[in-house]
Amino acid sequence: MDVGGVPVLVDDISRKYLCEATVDYLSSGEDRGFTIEGPNVPPTNPGPSRPGAPRSTRPPSNTAATGSSLSHDDRRALLREAFRQIFDPEIPMNIVDLGLVYGISCSKEGRVRVEMTMTSPGCPVASLLQDQVETAARAVPGVSEVEVSIVWEPAWSPEKMSDFAKRQFGYL
């Protein structure tokens, strides 16, 4: 792609997120970094946007009771599957197979806590991925609260990827 005279390399999988999107870079202030807005990008959540800042939200009350009959394991499986639909826009792979999701915990009351990481501490799309995980989790039946934290320990490495991802990238 050519964007304002600057060549931008975009893989076919990530292209769907960038169609009709605006990509900008904020160079000052606490929220410095890339922003991506468009019809295929989930809306960002107001609140702290620095990498590592937990975000907590509550969906409308009409969704909180939905899915109360799901078991803990079923809800975790639904969350993991929802996160498989989120692709790192810099790497053509979903965040679960990339090994970015370190942990998912859920309470009987529907409180969900997700610990995830990035491939590098300077990841320009950390806030975007954090927002997408939060949005995906809130869409799972029975989820009443979501907290997504970015952690740096243990550091991500290619060994954290699934066998599928390792094969895709030539590690197996």
**Per-residue pLDDT at 82:** 94
Residue 8 lies in a domain: no
- With respect to residue 23, please indicate whether it lies within any of the assigned structural domains: no
pLDDT at 66 over 50: no
**pLDDT for residue 158:** 94
Query: 134: domain range?
Result: 45-168
Residue 89: per-residue pLDDT: 87
Q: Greater confidence, 126 or 51?
A: 126
Q: Is residue 3 part of a domain?
A: no
Q: What average pLDDT is seen over the chain?
A: 78
* The predicted structure's pLDDT at residue 47: 36
CATH code at position 91:
3.30.300.130
Q: Is residue 37 part of a domain?
A: no
Cβ atoms of 152 and 115 within 8 Å: the answer is: no
Q: Is residue 112 one of the residues assigned to a domain?
A: yes
Structural domains in the chain (count) = 1
Question: Does 70 reside within a domain?
Answer: yes
Does residue 94 surpass a pLDDT of 90? yes
Evaluate whether residue 58 is within a structural domain. Answer: yes
- pLDDT reading at 4 higher than 90: no
Mean of the pLDDT values across residues 80-105? Answer: 93
State the angle between helix axes of 72-83 and 126-138 in degrees (0 to 180), rounded to the nearest 10. Answer: 140
Which range, 31-45, 56-70, 134-148, is most confident?
134-148
Asked, for residue 6, whether it belongs to a domain, the answer is no
Please state, in angstroms and as integers, the Cα–Cα distance from residue 64 to each residue in 61, 68, 140, 146, following that order: 5, 8, 10, 11
For residue 122, pLDDT beyond 50: yes
